[in-house]
A and B are shown apart, each in its own frame.
Chain A
Amino acid sequence: MKLELGKIKIKDVQFGDVTKVEGNVLYVNAKEIETLVLEDERLISAKVELAKPGESVRIAPVKDVIEPRVKVSGNGGIFPGVISKVQEVGNGRTHALVGANVITCGKIVGFQEGIIDMSGPAAKYCPFCSTYNVCIVIEPAEGLDTHDYEAAGRLAGLKAAARIGEAGRNITPDEVMSYETKPLQEQIKQYPNLPKVGYIHMLQSQGLLHDTYYYGVDAKVMLPTVMYPTEMMDGAIVSGNCVAPCDKVTTFHHLNNPVVEELYKRHGKDLNFVGVILTNENVFLADKERSSDMVAKLAEYMGLDGVLITEEGYGNPDTDLMMNCKKVSQKGIKVVLITDEFPGRDGKSQSLADAVDEADALVSCGNGNVIINFPPMDRVIGTLDYVETMIGGYEGSLKPDGSIEAELQIIIASTIANGYNCLAARGY
Chain B
Amino acid sequence: MNKMLIVTNNNKVYEKHKENRDVLFLEKATHLEVLEKTRDLVHKGVRLLSHPIAGSLKPNQTPYRSILLEKPAHYGDSENQMIPILDIESLRLIENSIELTKRILAVKSIPQWPSKIEEDFKTVDLSIIDNAIN
Which A residues form the contact surface with B (CB < 8 A)? 109-111, 146-147, 204, 206-210, 220, 243-244, 247, 282-286, 288, 313-317, 319, 342, 344-345, 349-350, 353-354, 369, 389, 391, 394-395
Contact of B103 among A316, A317, A345, A350 (CB under 8 A): A350
Given A208-B128, A288-B51, A316-B55 in contact, is the A109-B61 Cβ separation under 8 Å? no
B118 to chain A, nearest CB (A): 9
Task: Assess whether B34 is interfacial by the CB under 8 Å rule.
Answer: no
Which B residues form the contact surface with A (CB < 8 A)? 48-58, 61, 68, 89, 93, 96-97, 100, 103-104, 107-108, 111, 113-114, 116-117, 120-121, 123-124, 127-132
| Contact present for A220 and B131 (CB under 8 Å) | yes
Given A207-B127, A208-B123 in contact, is the A389-B113 Cβ separation under 8 Å? yes
Complex: chain A residue closest to B96, CB-CB? A354
Q: How far is the CA of A353 from the CA of B103 in the complex (A)?
A: 11
For A389, list chain B residues within 8 Å (CB).
111, 113-114, 117
Given A207-B55, A207-B128, A342-B58 in contact, is the A286-B103 Cβ separation under 8 Å? no
For B100, list chain A residues within 8 Å (CB).
315, 350, 353
For A391, list chain B residues within 8 Å (CB).
57-58, 61
Task: State the main secondary structure of chain B at its contact with A.
Answer: helix
A94 to chain B, nearest CB (A): 31
| Contact present for B117 and A206 (CB under 8 Å) | no
| Contact present for A315 and B120 (CB under 8 Å) | no
For A344, list chain B residues within 8 Å (CB).
103, 107
Complex: chain B residue closest to A319, CB-CB? B51
Q: How far is the CA of A110 from the CA of B121 in the complex (A)?
A: 9
| Contact present for A210 and B120 (CB under 8 Å) | no
| Contact present for B111 and A395 (CB under 8 Å) | yes
For A206, list chain B residues within 8 Å (CB).
54-56, 128, 131
For B120, list chain A residues within 8 Å (CB).
109-111, 146
Contact sample, A vs B, 18 pairs, CB 8 Å cutoff: A110-B113, A111-B121, A147-B127, A207-B124, A207-B128, A208-B127, A209-B124, A210-B124, A285-B50, A285-B89, A314-B58, A315-B57, A316-B52, A342-B104, A353-B53, A353-B100, A354-B96, A389-B113
